Structure 1
Amino acid sequence: MPFHVDSEVGRLAQVIVHRPGIELLRLTPANVESLLFDDVMWAEKAQEEHEQFQQILRDLGVTVHLYQDLLATALAADGARDELKAELITETQFGTELDGPLRALLDERAPAQLAELLIGGVLKREAAPYLRGVSSLVLDSLGDDDFLLAPLPNHLFQRDNSAWIYAGVNLNPMARPARRRETINSRLIYNFHPMFAGEQFAFYNGNDPMQHTPATIEGGDILVIGNRTVMIGMGERTAPQGIEVLAERLFAAGAIDAVIVVELPRERAFMHLDTAMTQIDRDAFSVYPYLPDTLRSYTLTPRGSDGHFTVHENADLFAVVAQVLGIERLRVLKAPIDRLEAARAQWDDGNNFLTVSPGVVIGYERNVTTNKYLGDNGIQVIGLSGSELGRGRGGPRCMSCPIERES
């Protein structure tokens, strides 16, 4: 089976990324907060930086799949649009009078155009040819430049809406309403794109139209550290209920032997586990130097074959990780910087590295001190310009969804 992710640091063979498109042009000072961004981004510059990111990956021998292209191909498959309409065009989403016109819009657009709309959003005026003669309170309440379908600028961060864990994928129930439609798009890709439709792999959770909240989980919190173990952050976006659901599914499938749970500070700067730490070599993690000393962690282990598990609180997180990885000592690399510089580096995704092979990582070039420190410790850091991409509060790991990686 070609699709599997067996570690965080083995050779990366295939990855999904999303080149930002019109959705970034639709960020405004009025909607930027509700769409989970901190600022309006310079879209063209972000696209240039993302193309550099893609080229770095290709130069390192990684096959790069563009998300919007995958979605367009999936939408051309038999049954895909029926699935989309059943899940997207509901009376709770658009009221009772818009289902017919919006179904016609989804039917008539070419696959590439429809993929762009599903990510970039639909303004009322853009749907006007389908809305003539429609009597709708929802419609009358909107201005011409209001969204019938909101844009999804966070598709830039492909790590979050789906996560490959060993020989299967989790379609993640997202925490924020602004991101929940991302999972619908990914479900179309994994079920209808010919690259995936002909393969046999497990769907651990989320391959359904159910409302999963409050059992939310996002891929930035999921680290596949190897040796049949997963590390999951519990914090702002990933709830304990979401971790328990995924753990039970993984244990019942016989996919893993343990889940290590790390309780994160509930702050935006620590949105996901991979903003606090990432594995960068077989024996090394890059870690935010001022993580609280009181950071709690737990290990979940199965008690039988039905998925039920036992929870044990750990005395020392990194000692447990070293034991799982089968090494004598884990190198916990914390850049020697003061709290002010650490806070700036944390905001600039200073620990959010995408490991391409053991000891070879991609990170934002602006984090000079951290990158030099890692270099002094034998880690090759390939610098990526991130003046605009970084303003979305996500680094190279956030922007990538590995679908094939060796152990």
Structure 2
Amino acid sequence: MFDDIPYLPIAQQEHDNFADTLRQNQVEVLYLEKLVVEALDAGGETVKADFLTQMLAESGYVAGVLHTVLKDYLNSMTTEEMVVKLMAGVRKNELDYVPLDLVSAAEEQDYPFFLDPMPNLYFTRDPAASIGDGLSINHMTFPARQRESLFMATIIAHHPRFANQGLHVWRDRDQTTRIEGGDELVLSDTVIAIGVSERTAASAIEDIARSLFANQSGFEKVLAIRIPHNHAMMHLDTVFTMINHDQFTVHPGILGEGGQIDTWTLTAGKNGELDIKHDRDLKRVLKEVLNLDDLDLIPTGGGDPLIADREQWNDGSNTLAIAPGVVVTYNRNYVSNQVLREHGLKVLEVLSSELSRGRGGPRCMSMPLVREDLS
């Protein structure tokens, strides 16, 4: 899923800088691998065994000799070592084993892995999304990422901070239609926007809308916003993010003449059906559903088409709002950052020369679990 290979030591330093910036601004930072380890240890041996069996099955080893070899190898580790190894992948040269079955013999012999690594996991936004008093645990689009949401399912089911706390899973990962967290943007305590994108299907949006409306989630409207289906604009949050009560970043490339873009407002209908209203004026729709007299759509790169495309490639629109009017951005998007400041935003820049090579910004690299209720 990467267009380039980040230089790992510098990428790690940059990620530490990102985490430190959050901590310095009163954000508690939790690391995915630590949460998974704590959840498995809290769940006990049966939970750990079931988790490993499921992970191996989703990695292509439901049963057989290699399933057993990998299971024994991973079970020989501590929980932390096992979780890190699953994320990093298991290379063939780690095991003293040569498979003799036809499937293995017919595979590309130079392929180095028995278990593929999960490098996209640093984009924690996508496998799940917090929505009100619950979350969606997502069936992701590409096989390379579909195992990732098993980690969040395990955390929610077994971690002491989250299990048995009344959290609702509005849509679980055991679905056939695709949805990813980068397309899910909570706009208020009653409105969520979801992108119809390369990574999220319209049928999945209808599915989660029905669940939210039927299960007293408090959400009354779901906005489905269609964006171009391409790698540079893979999720809604790569081109559109909410950064204040009445301010949004937007990449000009998603808007047609006059700021037009296909937007559907979904509300609860009769007998579990959905009422759907179509509009192409995004600003008008946002003002209506958020009860605003006016709002500020701030264009990436100040609206200059050359600068907007350049900074969009490095996720100039992918801002992480940690409070109304306070955003974390990549420092390399200096034109967009200055424009945000001119619109009254407090901009916290983080280092980004290597992290940006993964094609995801600060919002992509974070998955807020709990936010203060500002209503």
Alignment partners' CA distance in 2, 1:307 and 1:191: 28
Deviation, 1:338, is 2.4
Counterpart pick for 1:278 among 218, 221, 241: 241
Measured after TM superposition, the shift of residue 307 of structure 1 is: 4.0
Higher mean Cα deviation, 319-328 or 331-340?
A: 331-340
Query: How far apart are the structure 2 equivalents of 1:196 and 1:83?
Result: 19
Superposition deviation, residue 39 in structure 1: 0.9
1:223-234, aligned counterparts within 5 Å? 223-234=185-196
Instruction: Specify whether residues 403 and 91 from structure 1 end up closer, same or farther in structure 2 by C-alpha distance, changes over 3 A only.
Output: closer
Query: Alignment partner of 1:93: what SS?
Result: coil
DSSP 3-state at the match of 1:333 = strand
Tell me which residue corresponds to 2:95. Answer: 127
Displacement of 1:291: 2.3
Please say if residues 249 and 307 of structure 1, whose CA atoms lie closer than 8 Å, have aligned partners that are also in contact.
Answer: no
**SS at 1:311 equivalent:** strand
The answer (yes or no) to whether the contact 1:260–1:300 under 8 Å persists in 2 is: yes
Aligned to 1:5: none
**TM-score normalised to the size of structure 2?**
0.92
* Structure 2 counterpart of 1:203: 169
Q: Is residue 248–residue 309 contact of structure 1 (8 Å, CA) maintained in 2?
A: yes
Q: 1:241 aligns with which of 203, 214, 223?
A: 203
Given that 1:363 and 1:384 are in contact with CA atoms closer than 8 Å, whether structure 2 keeps it comes out as yes
Q: For 1:153, which of 107, 119, 125 is the aligned residue? A: 119
**Count of equivalent residues:** 364
Kindly indicate whether the alpha-carbon contact (under 8 Å) linking 2:320 and 2:327 is maintained by their aligned counterparts in 1: yes
Structure 1 runs not aligned, ≥5 long: 1-35
Where 2:60 maps in the other structure, the secondary structure is: helix
Structure-1 separation of matches of 2:198 and 2:58: 30
- Whole-angstrom CA distance in 2 between matches of 1:139 and 1:284: 54
What is residue 288 of structure 1 aligned with on the other side? 251
What does 1:299-338 correspond to in 2, within 5 Å? Answer: 299-304=265-270, 307-334=272-299, 335-338=301-304
Q: Deviations over 1:225-277 (max 9, x none)?
A: 00411000001000111111111111111211010000001121111001111
Q: Is the 8 A contact 2:58 2:147 kept in 1?
A: no
Instruction: Give the alignment partner of residue 307 of structure 2, picking from 341, 364, 373.
Output: 341
1:111 to 56, 65, 79: 79
1:71 aligns with 2:71: no
**1:44 equivalent in alignment to 2:12:** no
Distance 1:302 1:295 in 2: 23
Distance 2:157 2:95 in 1: 28
**In structure 2, distance between residues paired with 1:175 and 1:165:** 20
**Amino acid of the structure 1 residue aligned with 2:60:** Q
Are the equivalent residues in 2 in contact too, given 1:284–1:331 (CA < 8 A)? yes
Deviation readout 1:191-229 (Å, 9 max, x if unpaired): 12222124221011125xx3x33x100000000000411
Aligned residue type for 1:276: V
Assess, with a 3 A threshold, how the Cα gap between structure 1 residues 91 and 216 changes in structure 2: closer, same or farther.
closer
Residue 205 of structure 2 aligns with an amino acid whose one-letter code is I
Q: TM-score, normalised by structure 1?
A: 0.85
Deviation at 1:149, TM superposition (A): 0.7
Query: Residue 247 of structure 2 aligns to which amino acid in structure 1?
Result: A
Contact 1:247 1:307 in 2 (8 A): no
Confirm or deny: 8 A CA contact 2:248 2:297 kept in the other structure.
Answer: yes
Shift of 1:144: 7.6
Task: Assess if the C-alpha contact under 8 Å between 1:97 and 1:135 holds in 2.
Answer: no
Greater relative CO (CA pairs within 8 A, separation 6+): 1
Residue of 152, 167, 184 corresponding to 1:222: 184
Q: Could you tell me how far 1:337 is from its partner in structure 2?
A: 4.0
Residue 43 of structure 1, CA deviation: 0.7
Aligned to 1:17: none
1:292 Cα offset (Å)? 2.9
**Secondary structure of the residue that 2:29 maps to in structure 1?**
strand
| Deviation (angstroms), 1:89 | 3.0
* Whole-angstrom CA distance in 1 between matches of 2:191 and 2:354: 35
Query: Is residue 24 of structure 2 the alignment partner of residue 62 of structure 1?
Result: no
Give 2:144's aligned residue.
178
CA separation of 1:192/1:143 partners in 2, compared to 1, >3 Å: closer, same or farther? farther
Structure 2 alignment gaps of length 5 or more = none
Q: How does 1:255-266 map to 2 (within 5 A)?
A: 255=217, 256-266=219-229
Letter paired with 2:283: F
Indicate conservation of the 8 Å contact 1:124/1:144, yes or no. no
The amino acid across from 1:175 in the alignment is T
Cα distance between partner residues in 2 of 1:142 and 1:236: 29
- Secondary structure, counterpart of 1:174 in structure 2: coil
C-alpha distance after superposition, 1:83-132 (max 9, x if no partner)? 2234233398136332222222333221110111111111112233xx47
Partner SS for 1:344: helix
Offset at residue 311 of structure 1 (A)? 1.4
In structure 2, relative to structure 1, the CA distance for the partners of 1:289 and 1:261 (3 Å cut) is same
Q: Distance in 1 between matches of 2:161 and 2:255?
A: 43
For residues 125 and 72 of structure 1, what CA distance do their matches in structure 2 show? Answer: 26
In structure 2, the residue matched to 1:97 is: 65
Partner secondary structure for residue 297 of structure 1: strand
Other structure's SS at 1:349 match: coil
Q: Secondary structure at the match of 1:404?
A: coil
